[in-house]
Amino acid sequence: MPEGDTIFRAARTLQRALAGATVTRFESMFPALNRVDADRPLAGRTVETVTALGKHMLMAFSGDLILRTHMRMHGSWHLYRPGERWQRPARDMRIVVETGRFVAVGFNVPVAEFLTARELARHGQLGTLGPDLLAADFDHATAAKRFRAHNADTVADALLNQRILAGIGNVFKSEILFVARLHPHRTVGTLSDDELTQLIVEARRQLQANVLDHAQTLSPAVGRRTTRSLDPAAKLWVYGRAGKPCRRCGALVHGEKSGADARNTYWCPRCQPALT
């Protein structure tokens, strides 16, 4: 699943390519989008901004129209030059926004809607999001308060709760907990204030490190690393490494599926001891 770093990088790349340009063609496989386009054509509008909000992408056009997309498990945005061959089959296309210089194609995008600025401000799902870890004005105090409202939840589940923090997905969940040395089964209520602060700081640090300006890509997880190792085979600490030696201590990494969606969680039992 694309996580906050993927959406942030994709939005930044699309912003650089499309902002200020005039839309020459819009195409969609969503009837609701096409109805809006028929009544208020996209062609002729200017792309004003492309921004990320947690795992949501917002593409704003002149004339008070905003395209919200969410990638869920398999969606992605690609950027091409006009006439360039797509890297994905046309049957996977869901949205096309074309300008004179670039063609932005949303493949397998499961969620898309047009909103006005007023509708965006009153949007039910967006309005409940916790602080965006990649926002310039990220508020640590608000994040901590939201965690404390879920003291009965495990820290693994809390990190995935977008109403607490916006932007974390399954990979970062396991990696953040490893670096913070917290067992995924611990409940939020067992964390000291210092442990909670460290968890939030580490979550923000990891996502920020993976959106550095050299990583200009729309591809999910390309170049994502949490270990700081230059070895391409050692990008992650524990994610996907069940049964393999911990990169830090050598103990065998554990893995399990948990939660309502049976999400994979990985941890080192020695580096992340359970409470006794």
Q: Is 55 annotated as catalytic?
A: yes
Q: What mean pLDDT do residues 235-260 have?
A: 93
| pTM check: above 0.85 | yes
Looking at residue 222, its pLDDT comes to 53
Whether 272 contacts 238, CB under 8 Å: no
Rounded CA-CA distance 222/9 in Å is: 10
Q: What mean pLDDT do residues 125-141 have?
A: 94
**Domain 4-127 bears CATH identifier 3.20.190.10:** yes
The first and second tokens of residue 77, run together, are: 């945005």
Rounded CA-CA distance 43/50 in Å is: 17
Task: Identify the DSSP state of 2.
Answer: -
Q: Give me the count of residues in the chain.
A: 276
Of the candidates 55, 94, 204, 241, the residue annotated as catalytic is 55
Q: Please list the helix, strand and coil fractions of the chain in percent, rounded to the nearest 5, in that order.
A: 30, 20, 50
Q: Which residue type sits at 155?
A: V
Predicted confidence (pLDDT) per residue in 4-38, tens digit = 899 999 999 999 999 999 999 999 999 999 999 99
Looking at the chain, which residues constitute the CATH 3.20.190.10 domain(s)? 4-127
Looking at the chain, which residues constitute the CATH 1.10.8.50 domain(s)? 140-267
Which of 3.40.50.2300, 3.90.1150.10, 1.10.8.50, 1.10.1660.10 is the CATH number of 140-267?
A: 1.10.8.50
The DSSP result for 119-166, as a single string, is HHHT-HHHHT---BTT-TT--HHHHHHHHHTTTTSBHHHHHH-TTTSB
Short-list 146, 130, 127, CA closest to 138:
130
Residue with tokens 């020695």: 270
Q: Which residue type sits at 52?
A: A
Instruction: Considering only residues 222 and 250, tell me which one the structure prediction assigns the higher pLDDT.
Output: 250
Q: Which residue type sits at 73?
A: M
Of the candidates 45, 205, 248, 263, the residue annotated as catalytic is 263
Q: What are the counts of helices (DSSP H) followed by strands (DSSP E) for the chain?
A: 8, 10
The lowest-confidence range among 79-93, 144-158, 262-276 is: 262-276
The first and second tokens of residue 71, run together, are: 């990638």
pLDDT > 80? residue 83 = yes
The first and second tokens of residue 237, run together, are: 């600490």
Which of the four pLDDT bands, split at 50, 70 and 90, describes residue 223? Answer: low
Whether 68 contacts 56, CB under 8 Å: yes
Q: Is 263 annotated as catalytic?
A: yes
**Strands 103-107, 93-98: parallel, antiparallel or unpaired by DSSP?**
antiparallel
pLDDT > 90? residue 217 = no
pLDDT > 90? residue 132 = yes
Q: What mean pLDDT do residues 166-190 have?
A: 96
Looking at residue 104, its pLDDT comes to 98
